[in-house]
Amino acid sequence: MSATREALFEGATRIDAWPGDARATAYGDGLFETMRVHRGVVPWADAHRARLEAGAKRLGLSLPARESVDAAAAGLFDDGGDGVLKLLVSRGGGGRGYAPIADTAPLWRLSRHALPAPARAGGLVLRWCDLRLSAQPALAGMKHCNRLEQVLARAEWQDAGIDEGLLCDVDGHVIGATSANVFVLHGTRWTTPALDRCGVAGVCRAFVLGATGAVEARVSPEDIGTADAVLLCNAVRGILPVARLDARAWAMHPAVAGLQRDLARAHPAFPLPQELA
């Protein structure tokens, strides 16, 4: 079953339609999580919930009870299938004006989607995006609902031969891809961009940080070009080796293959690629 299905709620009450004045719609005033489902279960559910709660605390946003979300998710995946589960939480209170209304029940929606197509065999082909990400430390790291920068960046190319685009901030530091985090390897040292000014701190990024002991630091475009290996990662697609960026090409690196093995042991939705089994 791959057709999109959804459930809508206000607080713990099922509603028939998402309000047109929902603050997430009107102002991007909300958070979302995109989760890989394996046989009806979200293996990284605790990590997604922890990130959601951390973002909600920073925004002063009420969240639906975890029990309510879990029950609704079970209903969407009652066939025990695989797919993608998206949770969107909007601050409660509608109408016009930026001022949030205190102590309102959140609006939230869960939707089920099909898995993305398998990644390109041999590794991803990347490009540089022209758009530069703005710096806003108050929002850095969160998966908030204002994603217009990513929308504009992804609109820069239509070439089916390009899998992803890398984004820099206004100061020229690499932040990540339009929908993934990035790690670079020099010798035995992994580095990933610091996300204290902008960017999304992904759940799979946290896994790779723990598995590699990577340094969080400023990363330049030159650091990408001189790397021994580059990978992208997110919670839906896992760890994806990069094969080419402009004129630079990379063969599959043993360190990346090792991380894919680690991920396969930690998350049942990401089996070993055939060549690594």
Q: What is the set of domains in the chain, with CATH numbers?
A: 5-113 (3.30.470.10), 124-276 (3.20.10.10)
Can you name the residues that pair with 193 across neighbouring β-strands? Answer: 217
- pLDDT tens-digit profile of 180-229? 999 999 999 999 999 999 999 999 999 999 999 999 999 999 999 999 99
Confidence label for 162 from pLDDT (cuts 50, 70 and 90): very high
Calpha distance 257→81 (Å, rounded): 27
Confidence label for 138 from pLDDT (cuts 50, 70 and 90): very high
Q: What is the mean pLDDT of residues 6-16?
A: 95
Q: What is the mean pLDDT of residues 252-271?
A: 95
- The answer, yes or no, to whether residue 3 has pLDDT greater than 80, is no
Q: Within a 10 A sphere around the Cβ of 248, how many other Cβ atoms?
A: 14
Tokens at residue 71, please? Answer: 């029950």
Q: Which residue blocks in the chain are alpha helix, DSSP H?
A: 23-27, 45-59, 66-76, 148-154, 203-212, 221-225, 254-266
Calpha distance 219→58 (Å, rounded): 26
Q: What is the mean pLDDT of residues 53-68?
A: 97
Can you name the residues that pair with 181 across neighbouring β-strands? Answer: 233
pLDDT at 94: 77
CB 172 within 8 A of CB 220: yes
